[in-house]
Structure 1
Amino acid sequence: MPQLNLEISNRFEDGLADPESAATTLFRTLEVSGRFPIGDGDLSIVFVSDEEIARVHDDFMDDPTPTDVITFPADPEMESAGEIIVSVDHARQKAEELGEPFSRELSLYLVHGWLHLAGYDDRNETDRAAMRQAEQEALALLDAAAEPIDFKLTSV
């Protein structure tokens, strides 16, 4: 089982309440399951706005539009297990649009990032189908966890 050191940064200034607890539970549940293993090292999780994720998207992928999640791969030489950047704005808007709980949508983005680190991809239809299946399996693991994962907004 990987030895992960979680580094969680909440740079979303519009009111994400204590994401560290929910994120830690989410990632520890995935780690302990052993179902989708990733490498050892520091796993950086950053919660941001649409504006900030759009800057990252532009800087690294030449696309200035906001997106839901960006994952940077592991770098064993730097003792990095990877980095997952998620847009809280995007999760809030999509959850409202779909009539889904905000916490579930944000959890999906974090799961998606983890799965990229575990080797899943979504660049073609076959890979996307495998990614969607793995997302559902991972969400089922989270649903069955002893501790609930509950991300909350302090403002809407």
Structure 2
Amino acid sequence: MALPAPPETEVLIVAECWAAEADAEAIVHRAIETAAAMVEADTGDAELAVMLTDDSGIRTLNKNWRGQDKPTNVLSFPALQPPAGHEFDDAPRMLGDIAIAYETTRREADGEQKPFDHHLSHLAVHGFLHLVGYDHETDADADAMENLERAILAELGIPDPYADRDEAT
């Protein structure tokens, strides 16, 4: 059986600091393609955009959209979906947008002694899962989302990003 086509993913590099990570675009594509193949969500004939920005850019987004005047690692903006029967036949369905900040991602990866590409993959997967309806508002939802992240990252050959936290509890 053929796997469904992954969503069309456009990666926009809008901050020069990402030049230090020549493979960032490929890493994001691979993470999202793997996640799309493993989730129970309709991602065929869909598209999304990933903006690789800096702390200043994501801080502005975080302040404007979440009321939090500070940088963060990743933000997701799921697209509103048209009501059933009102879809456009000739256009892909927009899943939404993801923004990832370089400096915060770098600081977290270094602080947790993880390879940068592993952490970037994790953030891309995390952002994508938000676009297809997953969240971590309740403990049960967080457990489900984290377990799915673990499975997707394992498929990518990336160790469990929550292992250190889980061992500490």
Name the TM-score class by shorter chain: 0.7 to 0.9
SS of structure 1 residue aligned to 2:51: strand
TM-score, length-scaled by structure 2: 0.75
2:124 aligns with 110
Tell whether 2:141 aligns with 1:127.
Answer: yes
Residue 35 of structure 1, aligned match among 23, 34, 39: 39
**CA 1:3–1:104 in structure 2 vs 1: closer, same or farther (change >3 Å)?**
closer
The alignment's C-alpha RMSD in Å is 2.0
Q: CA deviation at 1:22?
A: 2.2
Structure 2: 5+ residue stretches without partners: 83-90, 159-169
Q: Say whether the 8 Å CA contact 1:2–1:38 is kept in structure 2.
A: no
Q: Please tell me the residue identity of whatever aligns with 1:24.
A: H
Aligned residues: 143
Provide Cα deviations, 1:105-141, integer angstroms capped at 9, x if missing partner. 1111101011112221112222222221111011012
2:52 aligns with 47
SS of structure 2 residue aligned to 1:17: coil
Q: Please tell me the residue identity of whatever aligns with 1:20.
A: E
Residue 31 of structure 2, aligned match among 23, 26, 31: 26
2:106 aligns with 92
Structure 1: 5+ residue stretches without partners: 145-156
* Separation of aligned partners in 2, 1:51 and 1:109: 18
Q: CA deviation at 1:17?
A: 1.7
Identity %: 28
Q: Please tell me the residue identity of whatever aligns with 1:94.
A: E
SS of structure 2 residue aligned to 1:143: coil
1:141 aligns with 155
Q: Please tell me the residue identity of whatever aligns with 2:10.
A: E
Q: CA deviation at 1:2?
A: 5.4
* Separation of aligned partners in 2, 1:82 and 1:72: 5
Residue 75 of structure 2, aligned match among 51, 70, 73: 70
